[in-house]
Structure 1
Amino acid sequence: MSDNDTTPYAAEPAPRMDWAALAPDVFKAMLRLDGAAGRGLDPKLRELVKIRASQINRCAFCLDMHTKDALAAGESVERIVQLSAWEESPHFYTGKELAALELTEAVTVLTDGFVPDEVYEKAAQHFEEEELAQLIAAITVINAWNRFGVSTRRVPGHYRPGRHA
């Protein structure tokens, strides 16, 4: 779309509910859990994991939020763009990041079966045990956030880094 194009975008969908306002104790607990799960992880890696899980889960609200947070943390547009095809563009990521992305996919898509031993072992080669536990926690928490976002149809586009929605 060019700057001169006046074709309107589709109407913004309405959320189903404001679950955070309706279940404020759950929302506050999720914020605390998210903070605890992220401790000790590199902020850029944490955002890459959150973006990848959100892509898989098709959570537009979380994609909007974590893409903006990743950019604010200094992540490159190029690496964010390539994230949906990370297996075909591994040269954009470190071995540690690739192991984290592979683990993210295995934990997120449990319908494919258990997390394979080789995926877990690869991650264990790149992460100290405590950091691996934090990574698994971060992956688990973003999956929970995605489920809140998708089921209540949280609307993307309004998030600004530095403030929680």
Structure 2
Amino acid sequence: MTTVAPLARLDLLAHAPDVYRAMAALDKAAAEGLDRTVAELVKIRASQLNHCAFCLDMHTRDARAVGESEQRLHLLGAWEEAGSLYTEKERAALALTEAVTVLTDGFVPDEVYARAAEHFDEPELARLIAVITTINAWNRIAVSTRKGPAPD
């Protein structure tokens, strides 16, 4: 059975270029100084939770470009069960990503925030929260406009 992806609805860059440029600037500023691997893992995990095919495609490609392994990319959806495949710092970032992304489960728990604060100093933690927030915004734009993954 072949399924056809829904047609894109809107091109944000074409119709609101100032908003697109502002989002791109925020995205760049948020990640400044944050470990690139952590940033990509966070972007991929949030995009998995938000079912954003466009962002999943882009950020898995970006992660591969900075040396991320196929095994870690494939197991990211089950990072909690993957043992020591991810560092404690990465695991703290992923837990925070899930808590910030899925706010319908309640506020970000104190223990999740404290775990992240053990591994990231305050400037890094501020950037991490900004990256999580930014990718969630990008996911919502891509999903609502039905922006699909780039063809191979």
Tell me the equivalent position of 1:142. 135
Tell me the equivalent position of 1:130. 123
Supply the distance in 2 between the matched residues of 1:123 and 1:11 (Cα, whole angstroms). 40
Q: What SS does the corresponding residue of 2:100 show, helix, strand or coil?
A: helix
Question: Who wins on radius of gyration, i.e. which is larger?
Answer: 1
User: Are residues 1:121 and 2:151 paired?
Assistant: no
User: Are residues 1:76 and 2:69 paired?
Assistant: yes
User: Are residues 1:55 and 2:48 paired?
Assistant: yes
Gaps of 5+ in 1: 1-7, 160-165
Supply the distance in 2 between the matched residues of 1:44 and 1:133 (Cα, whole angstroms). 17
Supply the distance in 1 between the matched residues of 2:28 and 2:122 (Cα, whole angstroms). 19
Supply the distance in 1 between the matched residues of 2:83 and 2:109 (Cα, whole angstroms). 20
* Structure 1 segment 79-118 matched on structure 2, within 5 A: 79-118=72-111
What is the aligned-residue identity percentage?
64
User: Are residues 1:14 and 2:7 paired?
Assistant: yes
Supply the distance in 2 between the matched residues of 1:149 and 1:44 (Cα, whole angstroms). 22
Contact 1:103/1:120 (<8 A) preserved: yes
Comparing 13-22 with 101-110, which one deviates more in the overlay? 13-22
- Number of aligned residue pairs: 152
Supply the distance in 1 between the matched residues of 2:6 and 2:150 (Cα, whole angstroms). 11
Gaps of 5+ in 2: none
User: Are residues 1:31 and 2:27 paired?
Assistant: no
Instruction: Give 1 or 2: higher helix fraction.
Output: 2
Given candidates 46, 52, 64, the residue that maps to 2:57 is 64
| Deviation (angstroms), 1:9 | 5.4
Scaled by the length of structure 2, the TM-score of the pair is 0.96
| Deviation (angstroms), 1:17 | 1.2
In structure 2, relative to structure 1, the CA distance for the partners of 1:73 and 1:9 (3 Å cut) is: farther
Scaled by the length of structure 1, the TM-score of the pair is 0.88
| Deviation (angstroms), 1:19 | 1.7
